[in-house]
Amino acid sequence: MSEFLQVVLSGLATGSIYALAAIGFTLLWQAAQTVNFAQGEFVMLPAFFVLIALHWFGWPLWAALLFGLATAVVVLGLLFKKVVVEPMLPNTGLPLIIATMALSIFLKEGTKKFYGAEAQPFPPLFPQETLHVFGAAVSAQDILNLTVSLAVVVALTLFLNRTRTGRCIQATAQNPAVAEILGVKTKRMVLYTFLINAALAALASFLISPVYLAKFSNGETLGIFAFIAAIVGGFNQIRGALVGGLLIGVLDNLTATYITTSYRAALPLVLLIVVILWRPYGLVGTSEGREV
């Protein structure tokens, strides 16, 4: 029992980070039809910005985190849009897929070249106490992960539904042409989505790195999980991405504990295929929203 609880709780904590990556992924897809194959690297990189600030500039952690966030938003949000995505329009098809794939190699190799190939320890954002829930150990970090990602979903949903900007972003996502006519500055709205995505990626990076460590190749695993979470949950739903993330996190652990360890990686993939074929709009998603 305690074992079951243990793996479920840990799965939730890990899954919540997949969710953060997946949410940005979903937003980008909705508002800019950009499927970002470099999303994993987007989660890998910000941790290194922080490490640079810590070890090269010798800043305190809080300042380093802010620096990391800011740099991420500029590099992975602004530059990504201006330098890679924007010039490619209207070819948001195969060329963009290829470009983002190339970008992921670029970021990976770049990081390795300029910070080194070795995994780096990343300072914990929280004291490392663990408390025990019915015999299951839960670290403060786990709780932080969960609460943050939940908070993000609530905040984002409120932002998108309650604020004018939010509604404009949604309008842009649903029908750019009409939004334009209604006087929405669609270009800017799209830019906002890119910035939000970068910020979310940075957040995910800061949350996962204390446990997962900072390494140039982290994106390979994280990226796949982000895709799967986004699609399983529902490509046109923010809370869908959350559900997807948590689901993948938990299922992965449950498979490993009770079914098979050597095929643990297979389950999320099978789930992905099944969902795409039987519910292309995801478990939580609704059939309207973007045609795929």
Partner 1 sequence: MKRRALLVTAAAAATSAFVAVAPVGTAHAAGTVLIPCVCELSGAGAVSGTNYRDGAHLAIKEINAAGGILGKKIEMTDYDTQTDPQTSRALMQKAIDSGAYVVMGTVYSGSTIVNMIVAQRAGVPQITGSEAPNITQKGNPYIFRTSSGAEKGVPSLTPYFKHTLKTKKIAVAWVNNDFGKGGHDVFIKQMKKAGIQVVADVPSEQGQVDFAADVAKIKQSGAQAAFVYLNEEEDARFLREAKKQGLKIPLVGEVTLTGQKVIDLSGGAAEGAFAHVGLATSAPVFKNFVKKFRDAYNRDTDHNGIKGYIGIYAIKYVTEMIGKFDRKAFAKKMHGLTLKASKYPGMMLDTSWDNTGEMLRTSFMTEVKNGKQVVIGTVPAE
Partner 2 sequence: MRATLRPVLLLVGLAVLIVAPLGESNYVIYLLCSWLIFSIAAIGLNLTLGYAGQISLAQASFMGIGAYSTAILTLAGWPWVVGMLLGVFLCFIVGLALGFPALRVKGHFLAFVTLAFNTLVFLVSRNEEWLTGGTYGLSNMPRPSLFGFSTDNQTHFYYFTVLVFLVSAALMYGIVRSPWGRAFKALRENPIRAESLGVDTRWLTLIAFAIGSAYAGIAGALVSPLVQYIDPGSFALVHSLRILLMVVVGGAGFFFGPMLGAVIVILLPEALRFTEGYYLIIYSAAVIALMVFCPSGLIGIWGRLRDRLGRKPETRADMQAGAQL
Binding site for partner 1 (CB under 8 A): 3, 6-7, 9-11, 14, 109, 112, 117-119, 121, 124, 128, 130, 137, 139, 208, 211-213, 215, 217-218, 220-222, 225, 249, 252-254, 256-257, 261-262, 264-265
Which two tokens mark 216?
Answer: 């140039």
| Residue 116 near partner 2 by CB under 8 A | no
| Residue 140 near partner 2 by CB under 8 A | no
Burial of 179 (0-12, 13-18, 19+ CB in 10 A): buried
Please, which residue, 139 or 197, has the CB nearer to partner 2? 197
Q: Which does 261 bind (CB under 5 to 8 A by kind): partner 2, partner 1, none?
A: partner 1
The answer to whether residues 184 and 174 touch, using CB atoms and an 8 Å cutoff, is no
Min separation Cβ 276 and partner 2, Å: 5
Among the listed ranges 131-139, 160-168, 237-245, 269-277, the one in contact with partner 2 (CB under 8 A) is 269-277
Q: Distance between CA atoms of 176 and 182, rounded to whole angstroms?
A: 10
Please, which residue, 249 or 282, has the CB nearer to partner 1? 249
| Residue 5 near partner 2 by CB under 8 A | no
C-alpha 44: how far from its chain's center?
Answer: 10
Q: Distance between CA atoms of 275 and 196, rounded to whole angstroms?
A: 27
Q: Which does 91 bind (CB under 5 to 8 A by kind): partner 2, partner 1, none?
A: partner 2
Q: Distance between CA atoms of 228 and 247, rounded to whole angstroms?
A: 10
| Residue 123 near partner 2 by CB under 8 A | no
Tell me the Ramachandran region of residue 116: left when phi exceeds 0, alpha when psi lies from -120 to 50, beta otherwise. left
The amino acid occupying position 113 is K
Please, which residue, 135 or 280, has the CB nearer to partner 2? 280
Q: Which does 253 bind (CB under 5 to 8 A by kind): partner 1, partner 2, none?
A: partner 1
| Count of residues touching partner 2 (by CB under 8 A) | 38
| Residue 96 near partner 2 by CB under 8 A | yes
Please, which residue, 35 or 70, has the CB nearer to partner 2? 35
Give Cβ neighbours of residue 105 (< 8 Å, ≥ 6 apart).
none
CB atoms within 10 A of CB 245: 31
Q: Distance between CA atoms of 165 and 160, rounded to whole angstroms?
A: 7
